[in-house]
Amino acid sequence: MTRIPHRSSCLIMCLWTAALVAAPVPAPIPPPPTIDANAYVLLDYASGTVLAEKNVNERVEPASITKIMTIYTVATEIRDGRISLDDEVPISEKAWRTSGSRMFVEVGKRVRVQDLMKGDIIQSGNDASVALAEYVSGTEDVFAAVMNQHANRLGMTGTHFLNSTGLPNPEHYTTARDVGVLAAALIREFPHVYVWFSEKEFTWNGIRQPNRNKLLYRDDTVDGIKTGFTESAGYCLAASAVRDGRRLIAVVLGTASDKARTAAASALLNYGFRFTESHRVYGAREPVTEVRVWKGEGEIARLGLGDELHVSVPSGRYESVEATVNVDPRVVAPVSAGQTLGHLTLALDGEEIAARDLVSLDDIAEAGIFTRMLDEVRLWFE
């Protein structure tokens, strides 16, 4: 079992208790399946760990995978109160004439934001994308600039958008990694919108269209996300599934067919769930250890993490994870809650798998002059 090695003179707490009997040695994890795609990535949603990858940072065309950011941008506008789901959007001639997959909105008519979002998500309607973009930002060009602002904020360093649809343009590109980052942000920030990505069909203007994500029909653990296709981009799919409370995200870009992208995403998800596992190590503001505080009204400050910490490891290897805590050797009041006073590192077989700052969970005010003077003397002997 795992314990925290002694790395400093501070008080150190063990993460796990030593086992009384030796655990069986787990089998080695096999390599990921062979995926015939230009790029792909398999991510653990909770930890953000990359479980499998190919050309993960290579710039590729996203096709209608773009619409994940279109919906993210619209959802942000709704959350911030600038538009609402019930707003009625006038359909421009540009939106009506947009080529490619369509929701079949009619020029001059008004369509609710919610209906356009579903047409964009489920039917992959390029006309719906343009209508939403024009309503939010006036023009699609300005909307694309807002999309890029969100991409920069989310750390999507290999992405640049020129439109809301994903129609081909040499300067419109993304990476498998960035799509995974975006998908995780959408699921985390807008779960009430994300549920629409699991809907299998949508009818508008008397035309029923099925969701193009075939995994929704074949695997009841899959609840999204989005397909994409152009001749230059190939067949693309971002998929996510939840099994036993754990979510994985698979992004496959540039395959040869609809069948190939579906099989590739399914193979990645099955591999991740079968051969890896994820664990919540600590919660946000959950005490990890303590540190002595000098010259303060209190002598002890509890240390913890600002956010939850999850780790992903090969199946059966969690017991082998080692944790190391290092804290500042000389902490003097005043101390503010949230102040960084140490560091936590998790490693498996000597390789770092997670690292976080340890912050004070307590405010420790400066003590009176007598206590400060007494502690000053004591520090001479420390």
Q: Which residue has the tokens 């994985």?
A: 248
Residue 15 has pLDDT above 60, yes or no: no
Residue 1 has pLDDT above 70, yes or no: no
Domain residue spans of the chain: 39-276, 283-380
Catalytic residue among 47, 54, 64, 214: 64
- Percent of the chain beyond pLDDT 70? 93
How confident is the model over 138-167, as pLDDT tens digits? 999 999 999 999 999 999 999 999 999 999
How confident is the model over 59-89, as pLDDT tens digits? 999 999 999 999 999 999 999 999 999 999 9
Cβ pair 153, 40 in contact under 8 A: no
How confident is the model over 308-317, as pLDDT tens digits? 999 999 999 9
**Per-residue pLDDT at 368:** 85
Q: Band of the pLDDT at 26, cuts 50, 70, 90?
A: low
Q: Band of the pLDDT at 372, cuts 50, 70, 90?
A: confident
Q: Which secondary structure element, helix H or strand E, spans residue 271, and what is its range?
A: helix 258-275
**Per-residue pLDDT at 21:** 40
What is the distance between the alpha carbons of residues 198 and 195, in angstroms, rounded to a whole number?
6
The CATH architecture to which 283-380 belongs is Sandwich (2.60)
Cβ pair 117, 71 in contact under 8 A: yes
254 Cβ contact list (under 8 Å, min separation 6): 37, 38, 39, 60, 61, 233, 234, 235, 236
64 counts as catalytic: yes
Catalytic residue among 54, 67, 214, 226: 67
Residue 9 has pLDDT above 60, yes or no: no
What is the distance between the alpha carbons of residues 199 and 216, in angstroms, rounded to a whole number?
8
67 counts as catalytic: yes
In degrees, to the nearest 5, what angle opens at C-alpha 376 toward C-alphas 372 and 379? Answer: 135
- Say what the pTM is: 0.89
Q: Are strands 287-294 and 331-332 parallel, antiparallel or unpaired?
A: parallel
Among candidate residues 321, 317, 366, 312, the one with its CA nearest the CA of residue 26: 317
Catalytic residue among 124, 164, 240, 266: 124
Respond yes or no on whether the N-terminal peptide bond of residue 225 is cis (omega within 30° of 0).
yes
54 counts as catalytic: no
**Per-residue pLDDT at 24:** 58
Residue 226 has pLDDT above 80, yes or no: yes
**Average model confidence (pLDDT) across the chain:** 92
Residue 371 has pLDDT above 90, yes or no: no
Q: Band of the pLDDT at 382, cuts 50, 70, 90?
A: confident
Choose which CATH entry (3.40.50.970, 3.40.50.620, 3.30.56.10, 3.40.710.10) describes domain 39-276: 3.40.710.10
